[in-house]
Structure 1
Amino acid sequence: MILLAATPIGNLGDASARLRETLASAAVVAAEDTRHTAQLLRLLGIEHRPELVALHDHNEHERAEALVERAREQDIVLVSDAGMPTVSDPGFRVVQLAAERGVAVSAIPGPSAVITALAVAGLPTDRFAFEGFLPRKAGERGRALAALAAERRTLVFFEAPTRLADSLDDLASAFGEERPAAVCRELTKLHEEVRRGALAELAAWARAGVRGEIVVVVGGAPERIVSPAAALAEVQQRVAAGERLKDASRAVAAATGIAARELYAAALADRAR
């Protein structure tokens, strides 16, 4: 089978007994960075040395088939540098192909930067969406955030420290300066820090420079209380600006809580008058 193994995101003490046992007996480990994984084995005191196969963003597509076919005969342990493979890390193509070919896939649960940040951020956890890394280019980032501005669920992003201040500025512009958020830095490590506040406050703080691995958690959009007539007018404005009626109805529905089908039907009825 293909066995996805979550590795520590910082603190080695988070390596589970099952992870240690699996790595200590594995014949083949597909690793995002073989040097990093070899060091992890040494730090965990594992003397066994499995065959390490590099599996990263640049070669996963071409190596997936060989790994999946090999997994018919022996277990293949798949690890990323930190956390659960496939979550903003290599592994998805391997799992997808394994599912298509009828090869079993299982997982060794463990540390996750997404879940850890969500847990400590102090923002609603009942519904959330993980968005990964925002686009690097300002224009693309702005468009991506505009599409998320009305999202009611808590949002989780990864970000590089060098781009954090710019991304927080763009988040404040798209979501509103007072939207609550948290910047979670170096989770589970010695210098762990969770900075909570409004997006504008966090952007100002980040301009001085922030180091380490970053997860940003942002509260969802508050529910807008508007009348059905006002919501219909907003749908019509979006359509006039070039949006498809279905898309406009869904967007306004997400922001107001009024059913998209009601807005769509009302817009069609208004056209027919």
Structure 2
Amino acid sequence: MRLAVLFWCYKAPDLCEDRLAHLRRQDPDVKVFVLFGGDPAEAKAFEERLSPYANDFYCFEGEPPVGSEELDVLFRGGTHWKYYFGDLLIAAWYRERGRELEFDSITLIQWDMVMWGRVSEVFASLGEGEALFSGLRPIAPVEDKWAWTTPDRPEERARYLEFLDHVRSLGFDGEPEGYVAVVTCLPRAFLERFIEIERPDLGFLEYRLPIYARLFGTPICERHPFRPWWGAVEPYSKDHTLRARPVEIRPWTIRKNLRDPNGARLFHPYWHRTPAGLIGWTRALVRGLRSRD
């Protein structure tokens, strides 16, 4: 299976370059495609910085999908809406560029994610043609607490219910599932169908992707090492290695896992340069002692 990296970035060019340089040291042969979702005016500068480490660079220049009034107010004219509709950026990339590139599946590596090891080894559990969604679980047990489905957020709740009505009309009859969008792997066959969905504006990516995968009959890899923190629906721990919330992974947690043959090799978020060598690790660990997470 030709598993490629889709490197998703929109800011922090120094950190993005650091991440790709580190990725290339870990895996010189893997195909790396950059999906830039930041200000198009900054795309050329990013391309110049990142192209030495990438096989392709794509800048998304489209407009936000038709969303809610809340989204229009908060996100239009900025980049934050591109997270909310991040899967649709991936669809745009595939439609306009990815179809021409050589790969069987992509794994999404975000700009503030750091990985140790070859991609094929870190994702050894991923089978050919499978999708992977970190933290995938049935929505029903967490529906009242999860930010994207809770009645405490009426607009999000309405979007979720409208989305369910839509996919039910298309033949989805399973149990709705959601995930924490930290680790995402998508096969080409899924992307081919996803770019053709009729109502891309409906719903949110953390349930939209897995539910469409079930609707399409895409096999989903469920035995894998990627266990993200589910935020408000489960207790917090400093030992988590994957978080969607803006709480940085401690350098001590990273070091502990790397010294364990069975430890994690993928960490998110980490907002500093990748630790390397005695001096780099010493600085990172000393800084970690001051962390209050």
Normalised by the length of structure 1, the TM-score is 0.30
Answer 1 or 2: higher relative contact order, Cα 8 Å, separation at least 6.
Answer: 2
- Structure whose CA Rg is larger: 1
Normalised by the length of structure 2, the TM-score is 0.28
Structure with the larger helix share: 1
